[in-house]
């Protein structure tokens, strides 16, 4: 997504230069098939489903080759090989491709599905697009409760994904009512997909700071800004402690870091 105002949104580049806001999706190959963490934009959105105001504001690059479906196929897999999808939350840029994988079980934090099915605030009524899951996904809801992980409470394990079957939901409410992070043990350590708990790497850096425009944007979108900021501070502390690689869904620097190239 390429909204105008890179300096405001990312603290770098020109004032009128387009920002570079990626949709970082994970594909995990486990013993029982493939698991997607978030889906990014789907083929229906690329083909014209993105709302006019979202399209004008966020200026997404609508390219079928960039969809999760196309990239899964490019790796030599079939859509039905994706057995599970874990969504951090149900915003259009995180759950837009659910319909591209209709056979998958969709794992979701129960408060998030409740918010999508019965939005209680103006923000919730505007953000959730039920048409993205009108095909009737096979939802698997996960309630609060579970083991403790790196100081975070209420973690629920999924037993059928990941290289060694370790994949955890880490509640990070604030951006949405049921927002979660997704932690996976990749053999050489833990990685945590933080969804929209933060948007840019400087927000969880040694001296956490948010670009001005991005901070305003996150505040306006949050259903509980106090919880969002508290969880962001906890993630910054986790990042400083080391041992866990953090990923925002939208930071191009972190995506480039993991791809071994410079943003």
pLDDT digits (tens, 9 = 90+) for 2-42: 999 999 999 999 999 999 999 999 999 988 889 999 999 99
Mean pLDDT of the chain: 91
- Judge contact between 251 and 24, C-beta under 8 A: yes
Over residues 140-158, the mean pLDDT reads 85
Q: How many Å apart are CA 103 and CA 81, to the nearest integer?
A: 9
Q: How many Å apart are CA 142 and CA 145, to the nearest integer?
A: 9
Task: Return the pLDDT at 42.
Answer: 96
Domains, the chain, with CATH or none: 6-259 (3.60.15.10)
- Judge contact between 235 and 197, C-beta under 8 A: yes
- Judge contact between 97 and 47, C-beta under 8 A: no
Low-confidence winner among 233-237, 244-248, 258-262 (lowest mean pLDDT): 258-262
Cα three-residue angle 96-99-101, rounded to 5 degrees:
110
By three-state DSSP, how is residue 111 classified? helix
- Judge contact between 76 and 11, C-beta under 8 A: no
What's the Rg (C-alpha) of the chain?
17
Task: Return the pLDDT at 260.
Answer: 57
- Give the chain's length: 263
């Amino acid at each position: 997504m390429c909204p105008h105002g890179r300096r405001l949104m990312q603290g770098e580049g020109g004032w009128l230069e387009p920002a570079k806001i990626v949709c970082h999706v994970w594909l995990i190959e486990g013993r029982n098939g493939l698991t997607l963490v978030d889906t990014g934009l789907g083929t229906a959105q690329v083909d014209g489903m993105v709302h006019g105001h979202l399209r004008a504001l966020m200026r997404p690059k609508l390219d079928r080759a960039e969809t999760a479906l196309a990239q899964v196929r490019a790796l030599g897999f079939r859509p039905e090989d994706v057995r599970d999808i874990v969504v951090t939350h149900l915003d259009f840029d995180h759950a837009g491709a659910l319909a591209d994988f209709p056979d998958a079980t969709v794992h979701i934090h129960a408060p998030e599905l409740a918010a999508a099915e019965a939005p209680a605030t103006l923000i919730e009524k505007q953000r959730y697009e039920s048409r993205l899951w009108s095909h009737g996904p096979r939802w698997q809801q996960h309630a609060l409760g579970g083991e403790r992980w790196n100081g975070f409470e209420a973690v629920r394990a999924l037993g059928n994904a990941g290289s060694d079957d370790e994949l955890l939901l880490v509640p990070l409410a604030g951006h949405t009512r049921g927002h979660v992070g997704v932690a996976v043990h990749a053999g050489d350590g833990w990685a945590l997909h933080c969804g929209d708990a933060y948007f840019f790497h400087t927000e969880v850096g040694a001296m956490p700071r948010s670009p001005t425009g991005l901070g305003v944007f996150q505040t306006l979108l949050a259903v509980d800004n106090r919880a969002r900021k508290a969880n962001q501070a906890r993630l910054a502390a986790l990042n400083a402690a080391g041992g866990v690689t953090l990923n925002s869904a939208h930071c191009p620097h972190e995506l480039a870091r993991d791809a071994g190239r410079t943003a």
